[in-house]
Amino acid sequence: MAESLKDIAVKLQHPRRSLGNRHRSQAEKFLELSAADSQNLNWAEQSARQAVLHDFTNPNNWRVLVRVKLEIGDDIGIRAVLNELFIILGRDPEQLSQLNDIDMSESGSGILEAALAADPLDPDQWWGVISANEDSLFTFMERIRILDLSDYRANTLFSRRLERLRDSGREDEYLELARVLLAQRPSNHESWAELGRMHERRGEHDQAWLCYDQAQINFPEIPVRDQFRKRMEAKMDGRSPGPWKAPEVTQRVQFLERMQQLATPSFEEVAEVELNGDAAAPDVFEEVSRLRSCGRSSEAFFLARRMAAEGIEGALKLVNEIRDEINDA
């Protein structure tokens, strides 16, 4: 049982703040001890790395890691830390190349603080910065359409920013952009569930089921699709001429086709693959293999899900393989 709970904890996407705080506290203690024994800097660095690993949303974890790198004199390491932060913030890491001639031992902390001030990791602080300016909001929404947010940390961070956009009343923008995010990281089960709840509140029950289905496929331990079905059956009981039914296969396939199109880079075309049962299976399996070999795992995932919806043998096994591939990336 303990191992099962551990596996579930690993799959949960929210930062583990208590572990992050604990490792940061250890790093700070080792930093103090390093004044008397410099060997403690190695322990400080390990603890600081763990702090960021467990909770990338706490700016203090990044600060202590940079402080350790400064004490060590690790200029390359400071650049690597800033590069990671830029990826999470949806910045272009190549912006750092403009800083090649800058001494990171003098400017590394300043660059970190400037990035955190302009783009806070906390979604509520971020919303406080951006919501007062309509142009900034528009720029944010445009950036989501072009950024590479396939990194699970960036996808999680921007998903929570989109939730603030939704809570401000911009539901239509949220519904559009949430799909853009999920096309890049289809294993983000928490965002699928949030999207499903949004559709359910709006009475868009078929769309809600499709989103809950994606959430449960990626995280079966929380059966949001089955729970939704029970809610619908209870709601319809005695008040409808027939029971509520899940969307037909054709509707599921159309939904997955749209998601695959969103996952396709703008410079590529979605391959036309007919799914007419087992006769088309060899061609479609080859297309899935091609997409995976090109590093286009999200597209391959949605195509494999289409195959599974159509009942093609071996497709569900392929879905699970690609899902694990995405999670391990």
Question: By C-alpha distance, which of 80, 145, 128 is closest to 108?
Answer: 80
Q: Quick count: other Cβ atoms within 10 Å of Cβ 128? A: 12
pLDDT at 7: 44
204: Cβ contacts below 8 Å, ≥ 6 apart = none
pLDDT at 268: 58
User: Using one digit for the tens of pLDDT, what is the confidence trace for 314-324?
Assistant: 888 999 999 88
How far is the CA of 320 from the CAs of 4, 132, 210, 327, in angstroms? 18, 43, 18, 11
pLDDT at 48: 96
DSSP annotation of 122 reads S
pLDDT for residue 23 is more than 80 = yes
pLDDT for residue 11 is more than 50 = no
pLDDT for residue 70 is more than 90 = yes
pLDDT at 275: 56
pLDDT for residue 3 is more than 50 = no
Whether the CB-CB separation of 150 and 329 falls below 8 Å is answered with yes
pLDDT-derived band at 4 (thresholds 50, 70, 90) equals very low
CA 321, CA 319: separation in Å to the nearest integer? 5
Two tokens at 286?
A: 């080859």
DSSP assignment of 147-198 equals S---SHHHHHHHHHHHHHHHHTT-HHHHHHHHHHHHHH-TT-HHHHHHHHHH
pLDDT-derived band at 8 (thresholds 50, 70, 90) equals very low
pTM for the full predicted model:
0.81
pLDDT for residue 41 is more than 80 = yes
pLDDT at 236: 59
Average pLDDT score over residue span 80-108: 82
pLDDT for residue 244 is more than 50 = yes
- Give me the chain's average pLDDT, please: 86
Average pLDDT score over residue span 142-167: 93
